[in-house]
Structure 1
Amino acid sequence: MADDEGRHQRKVRHHFLLVSYGFQSHINPGRVLAHRLARLGGVDGGSISVTLSVPAATYRCMFPSPDADAAEATTTDGVISYVPYSDGVDDGSMPRDAADRAVRRRATSASLSAAAARLAGSGRPVTCIMCTVVSLPVVDVARELDIPVAVYWIQTATLLAINYHYFVHGYSELVAAHAADPAHELRLPGLSRPLQISNLPSYLTDMSGSESAKAFSEVFQEFFQYMGQWQPKVLVATLDELEPDALAEMKRHVEVFTVAPMVGSSTEARIHLFKHDSADKKRYMGWLQAHPEKSVVYVSFGSLSKYTKHQMDEIVGGLRQCGRPYLLVVRRDGIADDDDESRSLEKRTQSQGMVVDWCNQLEVLSHPAVGCFVSHCGWNSTMEAMVSGVPIVGVPNMFDQPTNVLFIEEEWEVGIKAERSGDGVLMGTELARCVELVMGEGAKAMAIREKAKALKEIAQAAAAVGGSAERNLRDFVKAIPCQNQ
């Protein structure tokens, strides 16, 4: 047995430690990437080991057990391993201020370093540490252990280029000078089109001086300065066909590997940090099954956004005005000023729609009954819609969403943007107009559906065995120094 174990350990060529934030939008693409890496093993008699590390509070949610709080907790799903990391607080909260951020950074770095030491002690030394988007503790650990860093950029190549030029090449001053003018246009090197201030990620144009704005700025500034100096390898969750100009630009600065789509399959197990059980799934999937092809409007604004009762009333009013069946996802905590509103929505919409707390979004989007996705346009949701060939009505709110919706509407032409009123509310009449524009029988609707179908074929080809996602991932692995050769 010992000899067999020794031979197995000598065959292990790589061990990736992938560090994720505790958000739904980070964990699932992180898990999919980890699984894809692990399943690349077997080349040259070697194998690839992957450990996904998540915050302790998230780990407890994912794997509830009496041992989940242990500092050395670990589990496996048969393909990859999972370990928690501690930020010293472990309650899922965000840092309060700069001092709190510094304390948590030190605690996280120490926790990840200890996890790496345990992995090495078990015969699986970490050969590369990775992070979703940005992570300063990951940089700290990489420096301490002298191992390569790789970035899993779960946004577009365009967002990568915007951030790189903003934080590394001094475009922050230009943006700051025009931040109050949403219509002001600026050109960034290598991008296919000029961008208005309103098209930029919200965290780059927030000049309020709020704690969250300062946190984003400080973390991104240090991380991108590191990226500019050390040029880590970057896995970008995009397709070559989607963003050729932005990719060509970023390849001038860092080594980029396009690995999309990393959304898994509709039948693949997913991690849900919100209540979602088999009874819920049976209910909404059965409801979808009862409706004709491409007839249902699916509405979901992601895992972070909250909406006022007034906004939700407008959304429901617009959906009822459409006269089409709809599936509306509203978390119990997703309405900012009325905890009971989601329950009342269920009573008000039973004749035409269904309201659920949460759902398996990729499985819903893959269902033939779904004809339109009303979305906040986070990149995970956008990519899931593309893989499923579903047109989008975009209602961007924050982060990368304003940039994504610009490309959805004007570059890829697979959807349209719904405009908000002067006070920032999506009115029901506007939502109804946009849904009809996408789902109707007009020339624009037909063109959008054709574009969505073509993009689905491109995405599915990239995701297939031997497709570009797998080839590029293999090239990435080959570029990382090995252990135990």
Structure 2
Amino acid sequence: MALANDENHNNGEQEQGRRSHFLVVAYGIQGHINPARTLARRLARIGGCTATLSVSASSHRRMFPSHGSSCEEEVSDGLISYIPFSDGKDDGSWPNGSEDRARRREANFRSLSAVVDRLAASGRPVTCMLCTLSMPVVGEVAREHGLPIAIYWIQPATVLVTYYHYFHGHGELIAQQQGSSNSTQDQQVTLPGLRPLRRSDMPTFFTEKTQDDLSKMILQAMRELFEQIEQEKPIVLVNTFDALEDVALKAIQPYMDDVFAVGPAVPPLDELLHQKDASEAAQVHLFKHDEKDCMEWLDAQLEKSVVYLSFGSLLAYTKRQAEEILHGLQDLGRPYLWVVRKEGRAEEVDLCLRDVKAERGMVVEWCDQQKVLSHPSVGCFVTHCGWNSTLEAIVSGVPMLAVPSWSDQPMNAYLIEEEWRVGVRAERDAEGVLTRDELVSRLELLMGGSERSVQIRANAQSLKERAQEAVATHGPLERSLRSFINKSLQNLNQSRKSIS
């Protein structure tokens, strides 16, 4: 009898899934698109839903270069659809000043509203809008169309809690601890529900003495996001899992009604390895890369011998930083794979990279990072601590050398070194440069045979196993997604009742 009840329950959930259509809107950069796409595909695969991913027209063109330059073209990979929206410029540039931001926001609103109307006209009405963080305009579109909105928090739950308290009474506490002395960076900040944190671990937007326009723009967007969360109580999905951040997930529950852990948003390796073409690729790549050469080079290296170094899709290298890393890697004497994007790369950096000796290392413009981290020859990952990179390393069981730069990265580095103990942190000098001496000493510690390095590798393997448990069939991730689908339909029915 219990089995029959379970089957009826599952059939009911599948039926609800078929009635759901999620329009997932992502900010058009690599770090937002990949977790959003993974979530959309999981909703379609696990929950039986219809899912559409919408990104800016400039990013859509880079994702599907073979489909031409049309802003209107819809693409399908056989599981989900992709429809671009327009910010009025569609050139991939950052907003320049408040007037430009306002114009683009209005264009985004009109374009996304048109996407919702277009899907309804085609017989695929949207039942819930879902957006990555820093996109409050999506909430405005959802309100205009009487749709529920869900926020996809693509940073750690610990950072979610930190932002919440920053905008709810603790901002001044953090600001009061600013001062001229370097010791202020190590002062502790105690936030409800979390372990004490150093001020230097906080998101950089809270602690920068002088903010540039980009930092101001992002912090303002986050302020609007948390105002929306406070007023409308949307569902919040977090790219994490219970075994990774149980403390933070419990800490946010008193302040937000519906929070679901739906991570790690890293596609399963079997999907990655058995992709048939670019449209079915497990990960989106906005940069060109030669996967064959990279993997063949890794195949020729000894197990766990390679230092893999990548600082993500946004960071550009100065000449001095490139030189320090190159000389450090050469001094270390281990094989290395180093990602240095050509986009925005200064000529003097190119000159520096000519000194790379092929027998010791390989420099590539871009690579399929998940495949690289899953390769048996990779022994550690020198990372900027972007959350996607951090999760990919966790899923692959690779120890990390944390070299954070901005935004949530210092907090992620704290979690890597202090909470999970799956890596060590490297400190930058007064000019913000990772020196060769620091790089070598930290890597020797991480890849050596000391008791600490052995424990770090064991911790990394253990965390990998916990991540596998989270994404297993009928596991925590699947249960969270099904609960989210049911809750979103309840919210849709409530919205319709309030309108009628």
The answer on whether the counterparts of 1:331 and 1:342 sit within 8 Å (CA) in structure 2 is no
Which of 208, 213, 216 is the matching residue for 1:214? 216
Report whether the alignment pairs 1:110 with 2:110: yes
Alpha-carbon deviation of 1:209? 4.5
Q: Does 1:98 align with 2:98?
A: yes
CA distance in 2, matches of 1:286, 1:428: 28
Residue aligning to 1:3: none
Local SS of the residue matching 2:19:
strand
Change in CA separation of 1:343 and 1:76 when aligned onto 2, cut-off 3 Å: farther
- The answer to whether residue 396 in structure 2 is matched with residue 388 in structure 1 is yes
Q: Secondary structure of 1:257's match?
A: strand
Contact 1:349 1:355 in 2 (8 A): no
Match 2:441 to one of 433, 440, 455: 433
Secondary structure of the corresponding residue to residue 85 of structure 1? coil
1:98: Cα distance to partner?
1.6
Match of 1:275 in 2: 288
Paired with 1:354 and 1:184, the residues of 2 have a C-alpha distance of 41
For residues 124-169 of structure 1, what are the alpha-carbon distances to aligned partners after superposition, in whole Å with 9 as ceiling and x for unaligned? 11110011123111110111011111111111000000111112x1
Assess if the C-alpha contact under 8 Å between 1:87 and 1:107 holds in 2. Answer: yes
Paired residue secondary structure (2:65): coil
Aligned runs of 1:131-280 on 2, under 5 Å? 131-167=131-167, 169-180=168-179, 181-191=184-194, 193-254=195-256, 255-266=258-269, 267-268=271-272, 269=281, 270-276=283-289, 280=290
Q: CA deviation at 1:422?
A: 2.4
- Determine the C-alpha separation between the residues in 2 that align with 1:283 and 1:102: 45
Structure 1 spans left out of the alignment, 5+ residues? 1-8, 42-46
Q: Which amino acid aligns with 1:177?
A: Q
What's the CA shift string for 1:8-64, capped at 9, x where partnerless? x998310000000111111111111110000124xxxxx410000000111111122
Indicate the SS of the match to 2:46.
Answer: coil
Partner of 2:11: none
Superposition deviation, residue 65 in structure 1? 4.8
Secondary structure, in 3 states, of the residue corresponding to 1:284?
Answer: helix
Residues 202-211 or 92-101, more deviating: 202-211
The equivalent of 2:43 in structure 1 is 37
Say whether the 8 Å CA contact 2:16–2:486 is kept in structure 1: no
Letter in 1 for 2:23: L
| TM-score, with length taken from structure 2 | 0.89
2:304 is the alignment partner of 1:298: no
- Aligned ranges for residues 16-55 of structure 1 at < 5 Å? 16-41=22-47, 47-55=48-56
1:206 is displaced (CA, Å) by: 2.5
Segment drifting more, 201-210 vs 181-190: 201-210
SS in 2 for 1:155: coil
- Asked if structure 2 preserves the Cα contact closer than 8 Å seen for 1:18 and 1:130, the reply is yes
Q: Percent identity?
A: 50
CA drift of 1:423 comes to: 2.4
- Distance change in 2, residues 1:66/1:11 (3 Å): closer
Q: CA RMSD in A?
A: 1.8
Higher mean alpha-carbon deviation, 423-432 vs 79-88, is at 423-432
Cα deviation for residue 334 of structure 1 reads 5.4
- Equivalent position SS for 1:373: strand
Q: Please tell me the residue identity of whatever aligns with 1:166.
A: Y
Q: Distance in 2 between matches of 1:313 and 1:259?
A: 40
| Contact residue 426 and residue 442 of structure 2 kept, 8 A | yes
Task: Give secondary structure in 2 for the equivalent of 1:374.
Answer: strand
Instruction: Spell out structure 1 runs of 4+ moving beyond 3 A.
Output: 9-12, 65-68
What amino acid does structure 2 have at the position aligned with 1:274? F
How far 1:373 sits from its partner (Å)? 0.3
Residue 3 of structure 2 is matched in structure 1 by none
Structure 2 counterpart SS, 1:372: strand
Question: What is the CA deviation profile of residues 47-97 of structure 1, one whole-angstrom value per residue up to 9, with x for unaligned ones?
Answer: 410000000111111122565424x32110000000001111111111111
* Pairing of 1:462-473 with structure 2 (within 5 A): 462-473=470-481
For the 8 Å contact 1:365–1:388, the answer to whether it is kept is: yes
What CA distance in whole angstroms lies between the structure 1 residues aligned with 2:458 and 2:304? Answer: 13
What is aligned with 2:120? 120
1:342–1:189 CA distance, 2 compared to 1 (3 A): same
Amino acid at match of 2:339: V
Distance (Å, rounded) in 1 between the aligned partners of 2:363 and 2:143: 48
Secondary structure, counterpart of 2:150 in structure 1: strand
Change (3 A) 1:11 1:207: closer
Shift of 1:343: 6.2
Q: Distance in 1 between matches of 2:178 and 2:117?
A: 45
CA distance in 2, matches of 1:460, 1:115: 36
Partner of 1:44: none
| Counterpart in the other structure of 1:410 | 418
In 1, distance between residues paired with 2:408 and 2:485? 28
Deviations 1:296-353 (A, max 9, x none): 1000000001121111111111111111111011111354xx3363465254231211
Distance in structure 2 (CA, Å) of the matches to 1:119 and 1:369: 46
Q: Take 1:297 and 1:123, find their aligned partners in 2: how far apart are those partners?
A: 51
TM-score, normalised via structure 1 length: 0.92
Return 408-417 or 221-230, whichever deviates more: 221-230
